Chains A and B, each alone.
Chain A
Amino acid sequence: MIHRGKGIGCMWYPIGFTAAANPSAATVKVNEDGTATLLTGTVETGQGSLTVLAQIAAEELGVSTDDIHVVSADTDATPMDTGAIASRTTYVTGNAIKLAAEHAKQILFEVAAPMLGVQPNQLEAIDRKIQVQYFPQRSLPIADVALQAQFVMGRPPIGSASYNPPTVGMDPETGQGKPFSTYVYATQCAEVEVDDETGEVDVLYMSAAHDCGTAINPMLVEGQIEGGISMGLGFALQEEMLFNDLGQQLNPNLTNYIMPTSLDMPEIDVDIVENFDPTGPFGAKGVGEPTAVPTAAAICNAIFDAVGVRITSLPATAEKVLMAIKDKRLSNQRALPAAE
């Protein structure tokens, strides 16, 4: 018989390294036409980080994402970066880029101020223009200012900066301290079907609400969450590296190491919890790792809701679930009174 169940998984997760320095540096070079080149030492590992980082630089300079070209991951050409690890790219590298773009913008402001007859601190960069705050009609195209800066004033608008999240070391005895600058929070809910004759679990639907501070690119956040759920699903139900008595792996291949495919994926609804972290670039925190954290918990709680068995050891394979159901039936059986 098929039983349906629902389950919650709720989590928190830190951004960046545990109480250790993990700096990033960045350089932003504004070109003569107001487009810009961003140099970063982080690596695009498929998550879309370079697009998000371009958006951060673009926002600070008041230009569009497409106006920023990103040069990344060449130790001869790009500044140091602790790397694509610990969900730190948007927050740490993003903060460094925001600061670098701010420095380049400051040069543009200093060049534009006499052109507009104001002080540099009265200017803002919006919509590809350098304009006087509260007086949008008094503005110059960013291209004109950049050209003036480079070829007339001889001040190429280039900015470099670095950022390291502030942390406080942990007491070795009690662990007390401030190991991370900030955390994100999330909840995922799962709806499952469990077949009590085979132990098979089918995840039908998942809803996910993730906090990432400001979602700099909601589409990429959604992509991360959906990808994280697929990884969490494999961790919950299917994936396991098996060893023989000699310590050799039994399934080092994708034939016998079963990963979720598109057919295993449930329907997913993604929500981004509105939040703003004042320490992040434009309020952003991060989203990479947390998306894979609560999935297994939500699925196992849904199995518990469906058939009343608690899976205490992952993965919840059909064999394990069926065994647990059988054990439960045995313990529920009451001995009949002896026949007289």
Chain B
Amino acid sequence: MVDETKLAEKQETVETLRKVDDDLRLPSVPERNFFPKEIDIAPARLQTPAIGQRATRPDGRLHGLGQTKYIDDMFFPGMLHAKIKRAGVAHAKIKSIDVSEAQKMPGVQATLIGSEIPVNSFGPSLQDQPLLADQVVRHAGDGIAAVAAVTEQQALDALEKIKVVYEELPPVFDPIEAMSEDAIKIHNNDSNIYASKTIIKGDIEQGFKDSDYIFERRFTTQMVEHVPMEPHASIAEWDANGRVTLHSSLGRITLGRADIARTLEMPINRIRIIATVVGGNFGGKNEITTEPIISLLSKKTGHPVKCVFTREDEFISSTTRHPFIMDYKTGVSKEGKILARKVRIVCDGGAYCSWTETTLGKASILSAGPYNVENLHVDAYAVYTTKTVTGAMRGFGAPQVCFAYESHMDDIAAELGIEPLEIRLMNAFNEGSSSPTGQVLESVVVSDSLIMATERFGWKEWQK
């Protein structure tokens, strides 16, 4: 016989459970996004001629409405998350890397170490940087191994289980010390000096002889980060045709694709890079970082793999601005005309070359300032140290040398009792001036910019 009471009770329970289930169920229709579908186009975008218009940006509307899809906003079915283990030691030989415990951790789908990467090196001029260090650690932010897991947290937890045995080597942090012959060689070269530039113009000795006054000063600058709002981020999806598609925050996709092809030993046409709207670059996203690593993790797992740097990754492993040590010696006439300048730049090149050669080149060419210096001698050196990688950053060495040559200029002006504006106008490049490299300069407006900025400032009327 059916127990009516029990049946009723049972049904009630089912109803209750169903209600709970309904409450928990996610809405099948996504919430409506309230943004205007009919848009007013800013008049400046509709004007002809187009040049000189204060045209608004189409991406500005998307940013303002939160509609821009950065890498972190993108999800693909079955996507995994990758994290990278950092060395934590500045200089060491890697004796062994054991990822077996990490592989057993919950959610972990794959791991990767440097020796599994077909060509484990990259770099725009010297390919001296490993994607994941497999033999030697050269700075504390060097990546050692990568883990792909179902969630970011699982990947992070698994990193803790990676066992690395190091044989520590003496570090060298000071570039001047690293230049000396008996310093430990970070890349097994004859010297830690890995790039140098010289610019010679006129007769420096004669220039100093002709000078009424000689000024000397050493200037130094610090290491800084780009700090883009969006950290380095990318997603790799390896497909059944053996092609890999990368969504990436790279700022130069054509050359990035060639670099990735080189590291993966793949034809270039099997790699597709789609760069999203990048949330700030400033030079820091000019080269590949994790793209080959997550490509291989995607190949291993058959799933899309995403890697987004934490702010700490961004600081310790991505490129930074080169610290400079700059020695300036300038000979001037008593009227304040620069007659000779000698500059020595020592550029703290960090653990790997990256964009240092370009930085050194620009810094040495620009180091005399926007001034006519007939007798010039610039020597510039880039030196390996066991510190964070230094690379491209807004200005490629120019902010460093500008700080030096402009501070030096005011030192000279103060000593000679000349107005800072006057001494600059007296020495400034004109149309047709010859640059430190002997190039005839055109469309030169140094004096115009000096006059314009000081007039706007109210330089002459300004009082303390």
- Using CB atoms and an 8 Å cutoff, list the residues of chain A in contact with chain B: 3-14, 17-19, 41, 43-46, 48, 50-51, 54-56, 58-59, 62-66, 72-76, 80-86, 126-128, 170, 172-180, 182-183, 185-189, 191, 205, 207-211, 213-220, 228, 231-232, 234-236, 239-241, 243, 246-249, 251-254, 257, 259, 269, 271, 273-278, 282, 285, 288-290, 292-298, 300-301, 304, 306, 310-315
CB distance from A231 to the nearest CB of B (A): 6
Give B19-67 interface residues, CB cut-off 8 Å to A: 41, 44-59
Given contacts A172-B198, A278-B442, A304-B414, 6 further A-B contacts (CB under 8 A): A65-B55, A83-B255, A220-B57, A240-B223, A247-B140, A312-B218
Q: Does B275 contact A (CB under 8 A)?
A: yes
Q: Which residues of A contact B271 (CB under 8 A)?
A: 75
Task: Tell me the B120-146 residues at the A interface (CB within 8 Å).
Answer: 139-141
Distance A18 CA – B359 CA, assembled complex (angstroms): 9
CB distance from B387 to the nearest CB of A (A): 6
The listed residue (B171, B227, B399, B446) touching A246 by CB distance below 8 A is B171
Question: B438 in the interface, Cβ–Cβ < 8 Å?
Answer: yes
Name the CB-closest residue of A to B385: A247
Q: Are A73 and B453 in contact (CB under 8 A)?
A: no
Q: Interface size on B (CB < 8 Å)?
A: 124
Complex alpha-carbon distance, A285 and B255, angstroms: 23
Whether B157 sits at the interface, judged by CB under 8 Å, is: no
Please report which residues of chain B, range 265-299, place their CB below 8 angstroms from some CB of chain A when the two chains form the complex: 271-283, 285-286
| Interface pair B452/A209, CB less than 8 Å apart | yes
- Complex: how many Å from CA A312 to CA B448? 28
B152, CB-defined interface residue at 8 Å: no
- Beyond A5-B464, A18-B358, A73-B274, whether A241 also contacts B225 by CB under 8 A is yes
Given A211-B449, A294-B402, A314-B403, answer yes or no on A12-B370 (Cβ-Cβ < 8 Å): yes
Q: Looking at the assembled complex, report how far the CB atom of A6 sits from the nearest CB atom of chain B, in whole angstroms.
A: 5
The docked-state distance in angstroms from the alpha carbon of A188 to that of B420 is: 13
The distance from the CB of B92 to the nearest CB of chain A, in whole angstroms, is 11
Cβ of B202 to closest chain A Cβ, rounded Å: 10
The CA-CA distance from A293 to B406 in the complex, in Å, is 11
Interface pair B437/A179, CB less than 8 Å apart: yes
Contact indicator B225/A257 (Cβ below 8 Å) = yes
Return the contact of B51 from the options A55, A85, A176 (Cβ within 8 A).
A55
B388 within 8 A of A: yes
User: Is B222 a contact partner of A293 (Cβ separation < 8 A)?
Assistant: no
Q: How far is the CB of A59 from chain B (nearest CB, A)?
A: 5
Cβ 8 A contact of B57, one of A48, A127, A170, A285: A48
Q: Which of A44, A210, A315 has the most CB of B within 10 A?
A: A44
Contact in complex: B140, A248 (CB < 8 Å): yes
**Are A234 and B224 also in contact (CB < 8 A) when A214-B52, A249-B316 are?**
yes
B246 nearest in chain A by CB position: A75
B251 touches A45 (CB 8 A): yes
B257 on the interface (CB 8 Å rule)? yes
Give the number of A-B contacts (CB < 8 Å): 394
Is the Cβ of A275 less than 8 Å from the Cβ of B443?
Answer: yes
Query: A175 near B200 (CB under 8 angstroms)?
Result: yes
Contact between A187 and B449, CB atoms less than 8 A apart: yes
Known contacts A12-B366, A187-B450, A210-B449; decide if A174 and B224 are in contact (CB<8 Å). Answer: no
Q: When A207-B453, A241-B320, A257-B225 are in contact, do A58 and B407 touch as well, CB less than 8 Å?
A: no
Contact of A297 among B51, B403, B411 (CB under 8 A): B403
Assembly CA distance A210 to B448 (angstroms): 10
Interface residue stretch chosen among B1-9, B100-108, B390-398: B390-398
Q: Which of B286, B358, B378, B459 contacts A189 (CB 8 A)?
A: B459
- CB pair B227–A247 under 8 Å, yes or no, is no
The answer to the question of B364 belonging to the interface, with a C-beta cut-off of 8 Å to chain A, is yes
Whether A84 lies near B399 (C-beta < 8 A) is: no
The listed residue (A8, A188, A288) touching B394 by CB distance below 8 A is: A288
In whole Å, how far is A178's beta carbon from the nearest beta carbon of chain B?
5
Taking A289-B395, A296-B399, A301-B410 as contacts, is the C-beta distance between A12 and B369 under 8 angstroms? yes
B224 touches A240 (CB 8 A): yes
B223 touches A186 (CB 8 A): no
Known: A187-B454, A248-B90. A63 touches B406 (CB 8 A): no
25 contacts between A and B (CB under 8 A): A5-B464, A7-B410, A43-B281, A55-B50, A58-B48, A65-B46, A65-B50, A66-B41, A66-B46, A74-B253, A76-B272, A82-B255, A83-B255, A176-B199, A207-B456, A209-B449, A214-B52, A235-B221, A241-B388, A273-B452, A275-B448, A277-B443, A293-B395, A297-B405, A315-B222
